[in-house]
Amino acid sequence: MSDNVHFTAKLPTKRIAADCLFTDQADRLLVLEPPYKPTWDLPGGMVERDESPRLAAQREVREEIGLIVEPGNLLAVDWVPQSGDFTEIMALLFDGGVLTPADIAQIVLQPTEVRSFRFVTPEEAERLLDPEQYARVTAVLNNRTTTTPTYLENGRAPSPN
């Protein structure tokens, strides 16, 4: 490498994901069925270069389900280590709020991103979401009113040393 290369070019990079946790008025979770993998997802996705995680969550929700939302409090920050071909990731989970029947009626799926959606109980979500995402959701479900995000490593609170 040239001496003229900025020192940050040598630093590691991490992927960052930004999702939103939405519920309906019955306190069920909104989950999406993507066409490109076997597990379901929360609305959200990858943060692009020079994009804030909050704006990424907002953009991804608009692209996937057609809703324009302002993400609420940051609920969780979760570091997920490399697994197989997937590089490590920092997964941020924002509160999307409670969707009313009128909001739900406004959902328009982007077929290249989402096959279908549904609202599920936490027990149903366990069967649909990948284990890391499900662990992240359960870690914050009962703690949505706090303004302090939950820090997780691979979906779980790290044990104190």
Q: Which of 93-102, 133-142, 143-152 has the highest mean pLDDT?
A: 93-102
CA distance 125 to 31: 8
Lowest-confidence segment of 55-59, 81-85, 105-109 by average pLDDT: 81-85
The 3-state DSSP class for residue 4 equals coil
Lowest-confidence segment of 27-31, 59-63, 139-143 by average pLDDT: 139-143
Residue 115 φ/ψ, nearest 5 degrees: -80, -45
pLDDT of 112 > 70? The answer is yes
Q: What is the pTM of this model?
A: 0.89
Closest C-alpha among 126, 141, 130 to residue 95: 141
User: If you average pLDDT over residues 69-75, what whole number do you get?
Assistant: 94
More confident residue, 161 or 30: 30
Task: Give the per-residue pLDDT at 144.
Answer: 78
Lowest-confidence segment of 8-17, 104-113, 133-142 by average pLDDT: 8-17
User: If you average pLDDT over residues 86-101, what whole number do you get?
Assistant: 93
- Spell 20-34 as b/e; 16+ CB within 10 A means b: bbbbbeeebbbbbbb
CATH numbers and ranges of domains, the chain:
14-147 (3.90.79.10)
Task: Give the per-residue pLDDT at 2.
Answer: 52
pLDDT range class, residue 3, cuts 50, 70, 90: low
Contact between 43 and 118 under an 8 Å Cβ cutoff? The reply is: no
Task: Give the per-residue pLDDT at 1.
Answer: 47
Kindly provide the residue ranges of all beta strands, DSSP E only, lying in 121-159, ordered along the sequence.
150-153
Tokens 């999307």 label which residue? 96
